[in-house]
Amino acid sequence: MVRHVKAGFVSLGLLVGLMWVIEFIDWLLPIQFDVYGIHPRNLSWLQGILIAPLMHGSWAHLMANTPPLLIFGGLIALQGVGDFWLATILSALVSGIGVWFMSQPNSVTVGASGIIFGYLGFLLLRGFFERRFSSVLISLGVGAFYSSMIWGVLPSSPNVSWQAHLFGFIGGVLAANLVSKLPKEKGF
C-alpha cells in the first residue's frame, strides 16, 4: 500500500512538474503553445483535448492552478497511484470533450482547471459511492473547505471556461463511481 501511495505522489509531482516545464518552454520560445489547445468542434484540432490540460495561458494561470492540483491531487494520491491516474485521465478527457462540444466557436481553451474540478468531484462523491470511513472523511473535509468552488461550474467570466469546470467535475464523479466498483486493498 505504501508503494502505491508513494507512486501516486511521484505521479502528481511529475504531472505538475511537466506543466511547469511546458510553461517555461512556452515563455522561452517565440512560439505560443496555447494555440494547440481545444478548438471547439474543429476536427483538425482534436489533439487539443489531450494536451490542453498541460498548457496554461500565463504564469499567473499556472500559479493559480498549482495549489489546488497539489492539494486535491495529493488527497487522491493517498488512495494510490491507480486512483490518481484514473481520476486525472477521466477528468481531463470528459472535460476536454465537453469543452470541444460546448465552448464558443473560434475560442481556444487551455489549462488544468478541468482536472482540478474533476478532482473536486472525485473527492466530494467518492465517500458517497464507496462508503468507506476514510473516503467519507475526506469527502466531508473537502466539502467543508472547498464546497464554494462548485459555483465555478456556472458561467461567470468570459475568460474562464465554465465548460471545462462542469465537464471536469462530471468526469471526476464518473471516476469516483468507477473506483468504488474496483476491488480494494486493505489500508487507508
pLDDT at 187 over 50: no
Q: Encode 82-116: b = buried (16+ Cβ within 10 Å), e = exposed.
A: ebbbbbbbbbbbbbbbbbbeebeeeebbbbbbbbb
Q: pLDDT by residue (tens digit) across 55-73?
A: 999 999 999 999 999 999 9
CATH code, 167: 1.20.1540.10
Residue 24 belongs to a domain? yes
The arithmetic mean of pLDDT across residues 160-186, rounded, is 90
Residue 128 belongs to a domain? yes
**Cα angle for residues 81, 86, 92 (degrees, 5° grid):** 125
Residue 188 belongs to a domain? no
Q: Would you call 171 exposed, middle or buried from its count of C-beta atoms within 10 A (0-12, 13-18, 19+)? A: buried
pLDDT at site 160: 85
Q: By mean pLDDT, which of 70-74, 88-92, 108-112, 156-160 is the weakest?
A: 156-160
pLDDT at site 63: 97
Residue 175 belongs to a domain? yes
pLDDT at 188 over 60: no
Residue 158 belongs to a domain? yes
Q: By mean pLDDT, which of 71-75, 125-129, 154-158 is the weakest?
A: 154-158
Residue 145 belongs to a domain? yes
> What band does 48 get if pLDDT is binned at 50, 70 and 90?
very high
pLDDT at site 1: 64
Residue 186 belongs to a domain? no
pLDDT at 186 over 70: no
The arithmetic mean of pLDDT across residues 88-99, rounded, is 97
Residue 111 belongs to a domain? yes
Question: What's the domain count of the chain?
Answer: 1
Q: Which H or E run includes 4?
A: helix 2-28
Provide the domain limits for residue 53: 2-181
pLDDT at site 185: 58
